[in-house]
Structure 1
């Protein structure tokens, strides 16, 4: 009887911690038929390679992403469920970002983390702005640009992947923890 009381107390104390739920946010590759219908006439799709369709499921919304490579640039176009353009962008290197902006981004990251390793940087344009596709494919530097940085950061002997969004001047807008890759296909 004495052990059942101790066991019951352990289950009550540890139970809520074991069943906590993380925010589900995953990106899965889908077929073209599952992608919402969009107007492809405005997209300069000549000389494009590796066209892929993705669906990102979040707890609050569903986002569809069209990714492709044109020349040496890797572009992405994000749409909502109705096929309305939300934002666009492409992957850049640190040399492509203005020096002052990149210095500000590095200083913010170094102030919040012991060590950082940047995995990639995206230069993004809001889908609601006028001529968003033209601005994206011409690589224009606008004051409404944002930079999405995926990096691995270390805080007190704990390494995790993070997403950080910075404005055009390099000031932090938002930081979120990235979920690990989905390895459901791996069999042990």
Structure 2
């Protein structure tokens, strides 16, 4: 009977651990007043839900992100510290990517990693073009699209988180290690 209590407590503790999540990016939610000044009138924000403002710290730069849900799509618009548009995009799944492009992405991932778990995929539009907002909200597939994958990959018996960026044909543009989780909230 003594062992059944110990076993029960162990199972409960392991069960709670299974539902926890780790935040892989150093992204902090901020107030609207802390967000850079942008022309909000240019954004088609009618019928949107869950408008949130974020500040993301990367190894080389600081990015401000406006995230919201419109319809069933989760959009993001990235700005630099001065409020200039950098890129826009939305979350997609593997089936939303053209088959040739995803075949190239998949072959690269299988060649370079033993195991892969894709956390998310974003279809992104560069902020340098003039019709970037129109293209984003029409969900167009253009030759200058990029796909950003956050994945956990295993190389040489070591699992690490990576961010990989592919072009519209599925060719690798850049891959970097993702920043480790931020544990500032943990007190010892």
Q: TM-score if structure 2 supplies the norm length?
A: 0.84
Q: Which residue of 2 aligns with 1:20?
A: none
Shift of 1:47: 1.2
Q: Which residue of 2 aligns with 1:106?
A: 106
Q: Tell me the number of residue pairs that the alignment of Structure 1 and Structure 2 aligns.
A: 164
Q: Which residue of 2 aligns with 1:167?
A: 167
Shift of 1:187: 3.7
SS of 1:103's equivalent in the other structure is helix
Q: Which residue of 2 aligns with 1:89?
A: 89
Q: Which residue of 1 aligns with 2:56?
A: 56
| RMSD of equivalent CA atoms | 1.2
Higher RCO (C-alpha 8 Å, min separation 6): 2
Instruction: Give CA-to-partner distance per residue, 1:75-110, whole Å, 9 cap, x none.
Output: 000001111100000000011000111011000011
Shift of 1:60: 3.1
Aligned equivalents of 1:61, 1:148: Cα separation in 2: 17
SS of 2:124's equivalent in the other structure is strand
Aligned equivalents of 2:61, 2:174: Cα separation in 1: 18
The answer to whether the aligner puts 1:152 opposite 2:152 as a matched pair is: yes
Ranges in structure 1 where 5+ consecutive residues have no aligned partner: 1-24
Q: Which residue of 1 aligns with 2:17?
A: none
Q: Which residue of 1 aligns with 2:77?
A: 77
Q: Which residue of 1 aligns with 2:29?
A: 29
Q: Which residue of 1 aligns with 2:46?
A: 46
Ranges in structure 2 where 5+ consecutive residues have no aligned partner: 1-24
SS of 2:56's equivalent in the other structure is strand
Shift of 1:182: 1.5
SS of 1:86's equivalent in the other structure is strand
SS of 1:185's equivalent in the other structure is coil
SS of 2:46's equivalent in the other structure is coil
SS of 1:139's equivalent in the other structure is coil
Range with bigger deviation, 49-58 or 96-105? 49-58
Aligned equivalents of 1:97, 1:135: Cα separation in 2: 16
